[in-house]
Structure 1
Amino acid sequence: MLQAMPSLYIGLMSGTSLDGVDGVLVDFSQEKMVVIGHESAPLAPDLRAELLALNTPGPNELHRAALAGNALARAYASVVQRLLKHSGVPAGAVRAIGAHGQTVRHRPQEFDGTGYTLQLNNPSLLAECTGIPVVADFRSRDVAAGGQGAPLVPAFHRGVFGRTGETVLVLNIGGISNLSVLGADGSVAGFDCGPGNALMDHWCQLHTGQAFDKNGDWAAQGQVLPDLLATLLQEPFLRQPPPKSTGRDLFNPTWLSDALAAHSGIRPVDVQATLTELTASACAMSAISHGKNSKTLAVCGGGALNTQLMRRLQALTPGISVAPTDTLGLPALQVEAAAFAWLARQTVQGQTGNLQSVTGARGARVLGAVYPA
């Protein structure tokens, strides 16, 4: 049997945008991490709809969640098979897969003081389908240690994007947006800023039938509504100091409907423009407040492809250069998946994956659970 290479890992990510699965095959044998392959695949419409529905309470949730986890594991396995085929790497050469799963509830520190975070997945099935060990359930240990369980990517960002003597900001805009502050002195901070693509995607789907606003073209046709924007920006989470994390538990269609209730007679296109401005404003406020005078804001995730959002983000952060992480050597759509390949490697090697300065946990912890092949 082929001996697994200790340097080869696969990272899989299906984020809160629910736009699909990204997978990367990463080689950690060199001083600098190398992405050997990248594959992505959209989620089947019925699976996407079910995962979205499971973000809110509904009937027969346990049964539906279990089957959705099975379906997601098979979608993950399909991406893994494509990665292996196109890279020419056999399954037996890969040390492990880091599979984040699909977050459907994220309520750290709530209810009983510990709270919980829930990512749907079936890592046992994924290991069976691929023949590769799987590392999953990364967030729960940090929550158990009193942390937010998110974001977990800043430690990875430090290794990939950190610059000696320069503060670098890395902004991930998925369904939710999160910021990493990589200090010139080696310090790292990070937290969720607020909504990313989730509200924009929802409104676009509702009024145009399209899953997302490509390039932000629809938003660019509208006008920002100052009164509505002011209402949206009153959300207490946006002013809450870190450590903090959030998800669709807060920024969801009900939250938006409640905000819209006091604003009648407005055009859907203007709401889209305002939601784009909300995301840009929340991210810009975070970058300015916590950016330690950084001149660089590198953006990853699907939001990096939204031209109108990037334009507004640049306008709201004068003196800071806003560009996709591609300019720092790692394409915007590969960053999160690569982060979970790195986190899987940390777990396999018995090394910590969280940062107390980011999540607020009682200390550094080895994250995740390993499911052997």
Structure 2
Amino acid sequence: MSHYFIGIMSGTSLDSIDSVLVSFDTEFKLYGTHREAIPSDLKEKILRLTQPGQSEIEALAHLDPLLGEVFAQNALALMDKYNVTQTHITAIGCHGQTLRHYPEQGFSLQAGDPNIICERTGVLTIADFRRRDIAAGGQGAPLVPAFHDHLFRSDQQNRIIVNIGGMANLTYLPADRSAQVLGYDSGPGNVLLDAWIHRHKQLHFDEHGHWAKSGRIHAELLRTLQNHDYFKLTPPKSTGREAFHVDWLDSVISTIKAPIQPEDVQATLTELTASSICEDIKRLEKDGKADIFLCGGGAHNTFLKSRIELGLERSTQKTDTLGLDVDWVEACAFAWLAWRAVHHQTGNLPDVTGAKGKRILGGMYYP
């Protein structure tokens, strides 16, 4: 009897493709995980399509089926690793790789053809989660707060879940069950940090924030970065590489007259992420202080964590203490959204996305 669900996630950070094997029979249980790094040539193809350029349709025609194959192979590797077959799997939930996100225009594009995932695995595949919410007037993101509400909410304490991926998003979970769950993207998470260290050190990420820690925060650069229009928007709101990318960073740096050392830029970018997270945590805590839990790749950045704690003047924890490793929260969220869709249950939170109402999310592709 099939009862497992697979969740596949490839986020804005473009560091890896993560898949999880979970069940929701009586309660949530994580049975297995699988991670594969995104090859550098595939990453370049994805990055090319996150910004306007030439021959975009032709590039997408190549990338969309290619990512479908990669996602399918990732799911098959997970199944092989834990000795499960298609008969054991109810559905696969795949977020896809976001290339453009323009909710104000009613548009969000995730690549990775779900038809191919379904065909290769023989498993019902659910994808395209964002656009149903957008059609209902919402942002289509972030979608993980609904899963945070399901798994991490407490009746004893207010909690805020801070997911630091390529972008950072926050979920406010009030202990009062009659109060609203709130959430939105606070701004860049790792996206600029990763791009900057890759340019100067040929590394994919700043491990534990060591390079940033060696630099100094450049006050004028930080103020200019914080002047980005996104930070002036009121929720509901969401963002992506369209707003925060290395070309934008270069344009801001070019306005600063004196040269800035690369490590000082990295320190300043870390502070940009930390300060934007802290400001939004303080806005969300209008009904009293909350316990703060970090997840996503940025939760491993000890220097970033220390800057957040300095800004809040208190400690933070990882979601590991709530029973789910920081690296697998998002993939589990899309397995959960698939589970919701299979059971004809809604997956969005209108107070988070701004949609006109709750909606069942995702298109279904049957084997």
Q: Normalising to structure 2: TM-score of the pair?
A: 0.97
Instruction: After TM superposition, give the deviation of residue 58 of structure 1 in Å.
Output: 1.6
Determine if the alignment matches structure 1 residue 140 to structure 2 residue 131: yes
Q: CA 1:368–1:197 in 2, change beyond 3 Å: closer, same or farther?
A: same
Instruction: After TM superposition, give the deviation of residue 313 of structure 1 in Å.
Output: 1.0
- Where does residue 359 of structure 1 map in the other structure? 353
Determine if the alignment matches structure 1 residue 227 to structure 2 residue 220: yes
How many pairs were matched up?
363
- Where does residue 147 of structure 2 map in the other structure? 156
Give the distance between the partners of 1:66 and 1:134, measured in 2 at CA: 20
- Where does residue 206 of structure 2 map in the other structure? 213
- Where does residue 73 of structure 1 map in the other structure? 68
8 Å CA contact retained: 1:169, 1:294: no
8 Å CA contact retained: 2:71, 2:112: no
Structure 2: which amino acid aligns with 1:316?
G
- Where does residue 168 of structure 1 map in the other structure? 159
SS of alignment partner, residue 241 of structure 1: coil
SS of alignment partner, residue 327 of structure 2: coil
- Where does residue 84 of structure 1 map in the other structure? 79
Give the distance between the partners of 2:322 and 2:290, measured in 1 at CA: 14
Instruction: After TM superposition, give the deviation of residue 252 of structure 1 in Å.
Output: 0.8
Q: Return the match for 2:172 from 166, 181, 197.
A: 181
Q: Return the match for 2:325 from 311, 327, 331.
A: 331
- Where does residue 47 of structure 2 map in the other structure? 52
Instruction: After TM superposition, give the deviation of residue 262 of structure 1 in Å.
Output: 1.5
CA deviations 1:179-198 (Å, max 9, x no partner) are 00011112310100000100
Task: Report 1:1-373 matches (<5 A).
Answer: 3=1, 5=2, 7-30=3-26, 32-110=27-105, 115-186=106-177, 187-263=180-256, 264-291=258-285, 292-319=287-314, 321-373=315-367
CA deviations 1:281-314 (Å, max 9, x no partner) are 1111111111242331111111011111111111
8 Å CA contact retained: 1:43, 1:75: no
RMSD of aligned C-alpha atoms? 1.1
SS of alignment partner, residue 151 of structure 1: coil
Give the distance between the partners of 1:92 and 1:57, measured in 2 at CA: 42
Which blocks of at least 5 consecutive residues in structure 2 are unaligned?
Answer: none
Counting aligned pairs with the same residue, the percent is 44
Instruction: After TM superposition, give the deviation of residue 348 of structure 1 in Å.
Output: 1.2
- Bigger drift between 179-188 and 99-108 goes to 179-188
SS of alignment partner, residue 92 of structure 2: strand
Q: Normalising to structure 1: TM-score of the pair?
A: 0.95
